[in-house]
Structure 1
């Protein structure tokens, strides 16, 4: 079942995210993910750090449009609604600050 957003639009339960490595970040074998729409950037970061076998103390940065780092509490559904192309939200990730 899908909920509705504050503007009356239908909010999806899951969103498609494309993850692209930047700089010296390890490359994921799976780059397309279908994740819960209510996840935040922080939720995504915790899960991707586990997959990449990064230590909790290691940094991982996410960028939208190779330009800005969204806040950790930003919901993926919000980013998807504004920045998705062809139904997919493209996020670049890096172990060090890359843009912005």
Structure 2
């Protein structure tokens, strides 16, 4: 799996530039994750994060996970994490709020 814990040993500098830190924050009725920061490859899509998150919170296969940027809009599932990070990073992290029911936007 290409998701690494933020506390892991740093990778060589060339590899780190291909990854970004994503912070997953629960909203509304969403379960809280034990770990909230993940290092993800820039080329991964938002849909991949959604599927990863569903596994982490042990959601049912038919459950839907809603992801929000800046607590106001949902990124498209086919958008790359790296592009979103470049536009919306905050404190060197891409902050994504997640919930199981629509919350904003």
TM-score of the alignment, normalized to the shorter chain, above 0.5: yes
Q: How many residues align?
A: 91
Residue 8 of structure 1 corresponds to which residue in structure 2? none
Aligned ranges 1:1-100 → 2 under 5 Å: 1=14, 12-100=17-105
Taking structure 2 as the reference length, what is the TM-score of the superposition? Answer: 0.83
Structure with more of its chain in strand, by fraction: 1
Residue ranges of structure 2 left out of the alignment (5+ in a row) = 1-13
The alignment yields a C-alpha RMSD, in angstroms, of: 1.0
Structure 1 stretches of 4+ with a deviation exceeding 6 A read none
Partners of 2:25 and 2:56 lie apart in 1 by: 14
Residue ranges of structure 1 left out of the alignment (5+ in a row) = 3-11
Q: Deviations over 1:37-91 (max 9, x none)?
A: 1111100011111111111210100000001000010110011000001210111
Taking structure 1 as the reference length, what is the TM-score of the superposition? Answer: 0.87
